[in-house]
């Protein structure tokens, strides 16, 4: 099962006071077919909210190393998944709030894992999903492959860094339930990247520059030793 990203407009930003700020919006909408021909059904988030709602965090750009807030409210209404996140006055939190106010960041995106899905012919209905995080994003995407070109070299250093961070967290031991939930999310994200990176490349008749591939699986194993 691939880790997916589904986007929605930002929604509203509450007044920013001296103590905290609250971001309210929709993580995703029900009933609309996205670029992956997926439709999220109403009720798809109910189980995951009940089981893991307290662990869901508000991130910046789907990066588990850049949490910006925690959920104060998380529920479904008739339109979609509603969230209210409290963003503390950290440097990153204040920067993100200012970017929202300036209209630079205008979208939210959920990181989900499909649990129950049904093929409806011209689209796939997601009846149940596992929600790991909601992110404020500059560029929303339906999957990580559209954010990072893992077959090239531009983002390889970023992939290595994510593996290194994950290995460091695992080595520390004494992992809390919340950290375990975050690590699980990151593993699924990296798995999706690995799947995309190992897809066959279409044959091109014209000569092209060969790009160096990397073995993510071997890299992770070596760093976990």
Q: Is the dihedral of CA 72, 74, 75, 81 positive or negative?
A: positive
**How many CA within 13 A on the CB side of residue 80?**
22
pLDDT at 132: 94
User: In whole angstroms, what is the distance from residue 180 CA to residue 166 CA?
Assistant: 11
Which helix (H) or strand (E) element contains residue 91?
helix 91-101
Per-residue confidence (pLDDT) for residue 221, from 0 to 100: 56
pLDDT digits (tens, 9 = 90+) for 107-136: 888 999 999 999 998 999 999 999 999 998
Phi then psi dihedrals of residue 96, to 5 deg: -65, -40
- pLDDT 10s digits, 62-98: 888 899 999 999 999 999 999 999 999 899 998 888 8
**Higher local confidence (pLDDT), 42 or 109:** 42
Prediction pTM value: 0.71
pLDDT at 138: 79
| Per-residue confidence band for 34, with pLDDT thresholds at 50, 70 and 90 | confident
């Amino acid at each position: 099962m691939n880790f997916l990203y589904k986007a929605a407009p930002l929604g509203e930003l509450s007044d920013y006071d001296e103590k905290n700020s609250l971001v309210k919006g929709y993580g995703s909408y029900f009933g609309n077919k996205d670029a992956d021909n997926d439709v999220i059904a109403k009720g798809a988030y109910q189980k995951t909210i009940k089981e893991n709602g307290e662990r869901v965090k508000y991130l910046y750009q789907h990066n588990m190393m850049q949490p910006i807030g925690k959920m104060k409210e998380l529920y479904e209404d008739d339109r979609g998944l509603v969230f209210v996140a409290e963003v503390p006055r950290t440097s990153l939190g204040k920067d993100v709030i200012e970017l929202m106010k300036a209209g630079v960041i205008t979208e939210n995106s959920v990181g989900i894992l499909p649990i129950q899905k049904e093929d409806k012919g011209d689209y796939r209905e997601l009846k149940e999903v596992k929600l790991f995080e909601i992110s404020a994003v500059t560029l929303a995407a339906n999957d990580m492959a559209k954010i990072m070109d893992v077959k090239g070299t531009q983002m390889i250093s970023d992939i290595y860094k994510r593996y290194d961070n994950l290995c460091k967290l695992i080595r520390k031991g004494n992992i809390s339930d919340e950290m375990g939930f975050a690590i699980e999310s990151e593993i699924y994200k990296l798995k999706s990247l690995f799947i995309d990176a190992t897809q066959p490349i279409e044959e091109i008749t014209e000569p092209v520059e060969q790009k160096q591939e990397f073995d993510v699986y071997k890299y992770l194993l070596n760093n976990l030793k």
